[in-house]
Amino acid sequence: MPIVTIQQGPRNVEQKRELVKRVTEAFVETLEVPAESVFVWVQEYQSENWGVAGKLTADR
């Protein structure tokens, strides 16, 4: 049972729906597992909750 965790900034529900669909398809094709066995978790973080190159993304 593959479990995929995607950490990202906020996206709309249509984008997340498409992302989950495509990630699942990639696992089904590559690992030859049934789609029902692929779990995809989307964790979203506001820009003030993560940083890049020593700065909060909210400050960029």
Q: Which residues are catalytic?
A: 2
- Determine the Cα–Cα distance for residues 19 and 37; give it in Å rounded to an integer: 17
- Determine the Cα–Cα distance for residues 11 and 3; give it in Å rounded to an integer: 20
- Determine the Cα–Cα distance for residues 60 and 49; give it in Å rounded to an integer: 13
